[in-house]
Amino acid sequence: MEVKPSIVFAESVYMTEEAIKRLSNAAKVVWAECESEKELIETLNREKAKVVVSEYFPITARLMDSVPSLRGVVVYGVGYDHIDIEAASERGIYVANARGANAESVAEHVFTMILALSRKIFQAHSFVKEGKWRKREESSLPKSLTPSDLKGKTIGIIGFGAIGSRVGAIAKCFGMRVLVYDPYVPVEKVKNAGAEQVSLETLMKSSDYVTLHCVLSDETRGMIGERELKLMKPTAYLINASRGGVIVEEALIRALRENWIAGAGLDVFAEEPLKPDNPLLRMDNVILSPHIAGGSREALDNVSLTVCEEALRIIRDEVPVNLVNRRQLKTKGYRV
């Protein structure tokens, strides 16, 4: 009897019935839900796992060295800052993600925040609910409730991959000017999208809305700090649905307190969940959500199927389509 290769899920994540069926036809699927690295290593070795799927569970060099059967790591989602990419590349281990699978969900969430901020939705809602709306005349309303149109405004997109480019497409529908900062994307791609490739400094200075769509890496960690925030217009808003560590949170809190910028929409944070004493929780010029931008039902279905496909490619000894460490593996002489 042929022994199926094993695919271990480090955490409990949503997978469609179709995805589970396809995985089960080709492999033994194990739901580990481990509390510690030691426990996960034991599970991976017991199952002689070829693939581990991780949403947030750290996949370290020590784990890789402890599991000789491991050939690939599949990220449940897009962000891979919890995976030691260099260690995986040195050991010839594929790291794949579900790039693009939740792009629509994140892009729509970003624009939900942009519209809520520009139209003063939460302030207007509270104004009515608190019984402050006593006169029908518009002139009787406080200026703090005056909304702004998006048409003619400038949006600056940092990171122009699947999500960033979708945000840009939506922005064009609103009649916005689109600026892009992404040193890894060809100028032609940006131009074809009707956007302008600019420096980070120009983007921060010129944009009415700045939205972040880059992975968290050594290069991007803390890339938006005091200097960058002070470049922004006092009427501008900052949106982050990528990773909290891209922004220096202490600098952002100061920027919001001292009105360097008008406000922010945040779906991700330096530490998640937020601690009860985090100043962001007490600010009126901030919209917060609990890291759900990429979590629509449709997005989860897409992520599920993409994770399934990438895991199956690895157990068939094929190169993943959404290979995160392609450049590193190629440099080290591995097949990509």
The verdict on residue 293 lying in a domain is no
Do 134 and 212 share a domain, yes or no?
A: yes
Do 311 and 213 share a domain, yes or no?
A: no
> Residues 197-212: pLDDT tens digits?
999 999 999 999 999 9
What are the phi and psi torsion angles at 196 (to 5°)?
A: -120, 130
Do 242 and 180 share a domain, yes or no?
A: yes
28's tokens: 């033994």
The verdict on residue 1 lying in a domain is no
The verdict on residue 248 lying in a domain is yes
Do 55 and 143 share a domain, yes or no?
A: no
pTM for the whole structure: 0.93
Q: What is the pLDDT of residue 137?
A: 76
**Cα(39)–Cα(32) distance, integer angstroms:** 9
Do 189 and 306 share a domain, yes or no?
A: no
- Residue 54 pLDDT > 70, yes or no? yes
Do 19 and 94 share a domain, yes or no?
A: yes
The verdict on residue 267 lying in a domain is yes
Helix, strand, coil % (nearest 5) of the chain? 40, 15, 45
The verdict on residue 81 lying in a domain is yes
**Cα(320)–Cα(243) distance, integer angstroms:** 24
What type of residue sits at position 149? D
The verdict on residue 116 lying in a domain is yes
Q: What CATH number did the domain enclosing 61 receive?
A: 3.40.50.720
> Residues 126-185: pLDDT tens digits?
999 999 998 877 777 899 999 999 999 999 999 999 999 999 999 999 999 999 999 999
Integer angstrom CA distances of residue 214 from 162, 193, 197, 220, 310: 10, 18, 15, 8, 22
**Cα(117)–Cα(335) distance, integer angstroms:** 47
> Residues 211-248: pLDDT tens digits?
999 999 999 999 999 999 999 999 999 999 999 999 99
Identify the residue whose tokens are 């179709």: 18
Q: What is the pLDDT of residue 141?
A: 87
Integer angstrom CA distances of residue 141 from 129, 148, 289: 14, 15, 28
pLDDT band at 265 (very low <50, low <70, confident <90, very high): very high
Do 76 and 184 share a domain, yes or no?
A: no
Burial class of residue 336 in the structure, from the number of CB atoms within 10 Å of its CB (0-12 exposed, 13-18 middle, 19+ buried): middle
How many independent structural domains does the chain possess?
2
Mind telling me the catalytic residues?
A: 243, 272, 291
Q: What is the mean pLDDT of residues 104-129?
A: 97
The verdict on residue 74 lying in a domain is yes
> Residues 4-49: pLDDT tens digits?
999 999 999 999 999 999 999 999 999 998 999 999 999 999 999 9
Q: What is the pLDDT of residue 1?
A: 58
Do 247 and 229 share a domain, yes or no?
A: yes
Do 116 and 228 share a domain, yes or no?
A: yes
Q: Determine the 3-state secondary structure of 103 from DSSP.
A: helix
Q: What is the pLDDT of residue 194?
A: 98
Q: What is the pLDDT of residue 2?
A: 72
Q: What is the pLDDT of residue 140?
A: 78
Do 127 and 219 share a domain, yes or no?
A: yes
Do 134 and 172 share a domain, yes or no?
A: yes
How many residues are listed for the chain in this entry?
336
Q: What is the mean pLDDT of residues 303-327?
A: 98
Burial class of residue 1 in the structure, from the number of CB atoms within 10 Å of its CB (0-12 exposed, 13-18 middle, 19+ buried): exposed
The verdict on residue 198 lying in a domain is yes
pLDDT band at 192 (very low <50, low <70, confident <90, very high): very high
Domain span at residue 264 reads 103-288
Q: What is the mean pLDDT of residues 42-59?
A: 98
How many contiguous H segments (helices) and E segments (strands) does the chain have? 13, 12
Q: Determine the 3-state secondary structure of 256 from DSSP.
A: helix
Burial class of residue 301 in the structure, from the number of CB atoms within 10 Å of its CB (0-12 exposed, 13-18 middle, 19+ buried): middle
Do 166 and 207 share a domain, yes or no?
A: yes
**Cα(300)–Cα(13) distance, integer angstroms:** 9
